[in-house]
């Protein structure tokens, strides 16, 4: 009977880990594809499908990050299946909450925070490898976005200088093609980093259950299942977060988009090479901010960036508190009943968040709508902003193979008396030096 209970618990942990991988997929789709969708380099559905395929391929290219998660952050000798399950619930809950709010927070830090919190609740501070947490998580969390901002700023400035005399339409179409390649590279890099994290957690669970030896590598079936669920989540698209990254931080053009994506891919691939479990969200956000800083005349919405920064600071402790609370519930109730109750709490919470998201849905049909805060900042009604953007896009997209626009170019709408000028990406492209 005890063996049956242990097997059931292991199955629940594996299912929950794959559920986390699924949320990680749709939570982080915007890291690779938000700028390509915002600049119309790719249609929304095409973008998420391409990202899903490359995420799955990337999951097979490296296991360095999986080893860090499984053996570099917590003591595997004190890990139990109850601890792993509680940590996963903490990570999933934070992922879903930030998705609902459209905040691109770190799935990686949510997972690590949840596991560390549950370990602290179970055995205290001795169960955490603090040197590993500092070296592999905290320091990269501070440095990675700063590096991404710097690389993207320099890259964007250089591209703006080199293309300042290139006609607007030619430049836009050329960089849209370039964005297909750079966004694909980010998706591939994301697979080498984020898909590994659930692999590491499942390996922890298998070691805790005695299913594999402590020095075991990640089994192939774990790699395949994690890659599949990450890709599935990516394909469904985290449209709320895609919208925030693509429209909320910077009014981005194709040159900025390509510079941001290339910067993100470079930083993520380097971290995967060294086994650093950094946040691809932090890197992508830093790159997008850098593309705004480096582009002459670009406007960065620092208020939106500030809200993201606050969420980043809360991720580790918030997920840790949920993880610790879930372990406490399991311990208080005890046995299989405690585990089932925690699993039921996760299901109910997830369902409630999904229902709340339906009140104001965001999907591929409205992900590129004008950002409301931008319209207010410009002193214009959103309809005027949308009309101007649509007219500009029709002129640029006439012969573009990546978009649906086939109608002849329309004249720009008449200016609104007394209204300030809206600085669009295309206008900056003409004026930048």
C-alpha to C-alpha distance for 281 and 433, rounded to whole angstroms: 30
Angle between helices 139-162 and 280-294 (to 10 degrees): 30
The pLDDT score that the predictor gives to residue 90 is 94
Looking at the chain, how many residues does it have? 433
Whose CA is closest to 112, among 197, 195, 208? 197
Both 195 and 78 in one domain: the answer is yes
The pLDDT score that the predictor gives to residue 273 is 67
**End-to-end CA distance of the chain, in Å?**
73
The pLDDT score that the predictor gives to residue 228 is 92
Query: Could you list the residue range(s) of the whole structural domain that residue 376 is in?
Result: 372-431
Write phi, then psi, for 98 (nearest 5 degrees): -70, -35
Tell whether 36 is covered by a domain.
Answer: yes
From 332, 357, 382, the end of a domain falls on 357
Both 293 and 382 in one domain: the answer is no
Read off the tokens for 379: 């002193």
Tell whether 363 is covered by a domain.
Answer: no
C-alpha to C-alpha distance for 169 and 429, rounded to whole angstroms: 10
Tell whether 190 is covered by a domain.
Answer: yes
Both 185 and 284 in one domain: the answer is yes
What DSSP letter does each residue of 243-307 carry, written as one string? HIIIIISB---HHHHHHHHHHHHHHHHHHHHHT----HHHHHHHHHHHHHHHSTT--B-HHHHHH
Both 280 and 419 in one domain: the answer is no
Both 309 and 397 in one domain: the answer is no
Both 224 and 100 in one domain: the answer is yes
Both 299 and 422 in one domain: the answer is no
C-alpha to C-alpha distance for 26 and 78, rounded to whole angstroms: 32
The pLDDT score that the predictor gives to residue 432 is 47
Both 230 and 200 in one domain: the answer is yes
The pLDDT score that the predictor gives to residue 419 is 47
C-alpha to C-alpha distance for 28 and 54, rounded to whole angstroms: 13
DSSP β-bridge partners for residue 28? none
Tell whether 381 is covered by a domain.
Answer: yes
Tell whether 362 is covered by a domain.
Answer: no
Tell whether 347 is covered by a domain.
Answer: yes
Both 321 and 399 in one domain: the answer is no
Could you tell me the CA-to-CA distances from 137 to 144, 230, 343, 353 in Å, in that order? 10, 21, 27, 28
Both 386 and 349 in one domain: the answer is no
Which of 128-135's residues contact partners 24+ apart within 8 Å by CB, and which partners?
A: 128/73, 128/74, 128/75, 129/72, 129/73, 129/74, 129/75, 132/68, 132/72, 132/73, 133/73
* pLDDT averaged per 10 residues in sequence order, the chain, 433 residues: 72 91 86 85 90 86 62 78 91 94 87 92 91 83 86 89 83 85 84 76 83 82 90 86 87 85 83 68 88 84 87 92 95 88 94 93 87 46 44 50 44 48 50 47
Both 336 and 298 in one domain: the answer is yes
The pLDDT score that the predictor gives to residue 390 is 53
C-alpha to C-alpha distance for 164 and 178, rounded to whole angstroms: 17
Tell whether 233 is covered by a domain.
Answer: yes
Tell whether 367 is covered by a domain.
Answer: no
C-alpha to C-alpha distance for 173 and 111, rounded to whole angstroms: 39
Both 271 and 402 in one domain: the answer is no
DSSP β-bridge partners for residue 300? 250
The pLDDT score that the predictor gives to residue 316 is 92
Q: How many domains does the chain have?
A: 2
C-alpha to C-alpha distance for 389 and 255, rounded to whole angstroms: 17
The pLDDT score that the predictor gives to residue 92 is 95
The pLDDT score that the predictor gives to residue 377 is 37
């Amino acid at each position: 009977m005890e063996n049956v209970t242990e097997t059931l618990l292991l199955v629940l942990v594996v299912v929950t880990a794959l559920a986390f991988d699924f949320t990680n997929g749709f939570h982080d789709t915007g890291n690779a594809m938000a700028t390509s969708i915002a600049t119309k380099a790719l249609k929304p559905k095409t973008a998420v499908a391409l990202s899903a395929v490359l995420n799955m391929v990337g999951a097979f290219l490296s296991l360095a990050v999986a080893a860090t998660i499984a053996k570099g952050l917590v003591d595997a000798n004190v890990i139990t299946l109850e601890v792993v399950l509680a940590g996963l619930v903490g990570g999933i809950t934070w992922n879903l909450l930030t998705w609902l709010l459209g905040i691109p927070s770190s799935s990686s830090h949510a997972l690590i925070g949840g596991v560390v919190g549950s370990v602290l609740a179970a055995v205290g501070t001795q169960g955490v490898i603090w040197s590993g947490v500092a070296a592999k998580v905290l320091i990269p969390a501070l440095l990675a976005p700063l590096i991404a901002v710097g690389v993207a700023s320099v890259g964007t400035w250089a591209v703006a200088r080199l293309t300042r005399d290139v006609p607007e339409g030619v430049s836009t179409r050329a960089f849209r093609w370039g964005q297909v390649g750079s966004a694909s590279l980010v998706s591939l890099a994301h697979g080498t980093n984020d898909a590994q994290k659930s692999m590491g957690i499942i390996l922890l669970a298998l070691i805790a259950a005695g299913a594999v030896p402590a020095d075991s590598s990640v089994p192939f079936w774990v790699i395949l299942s994690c890659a599949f669920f990450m890709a599935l989540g990516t394909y469904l698209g985290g449209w709320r977060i895609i919208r925030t990254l693509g429209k909320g931080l910077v009014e981005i053009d194709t040159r900025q988009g390509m510079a941001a994506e290339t910067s993100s891919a470079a930083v993520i691939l380097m971290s995967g090479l060294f086994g650093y479990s950094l946040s691809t969200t932090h890197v992508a956000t830093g790159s997008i901010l850098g593309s705004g800083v480096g582009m002459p005349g670009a406007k960065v919405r620092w208020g939106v960036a500030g809200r993201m920064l606050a969420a980043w600071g809360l991720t580790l402790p918030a997920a840790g508190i949920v993880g610790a609370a879930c372990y406490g519930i399991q311990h208080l109730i005890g046995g299989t009943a405690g585990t089932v109750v925690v699993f039921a709490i996760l299901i109910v919470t997830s369902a409630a968040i999904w229902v709340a998201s339906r009140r104001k849905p965001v999907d591929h049909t409205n992900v590129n709508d004008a950002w409301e805060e931008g319209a207010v900042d410009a002193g214009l009604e959103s309809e005027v902003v949308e009309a101007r953007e649509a007219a500009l896009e029709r002129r640029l997209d006439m012969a573009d193979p990546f978009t649906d626009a086939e109608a002849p170019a329309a004249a720009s709408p008449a200016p609104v008396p007394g209204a300030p000028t809206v600085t669009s990406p295309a206008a900056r492209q003409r004026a930048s030096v």
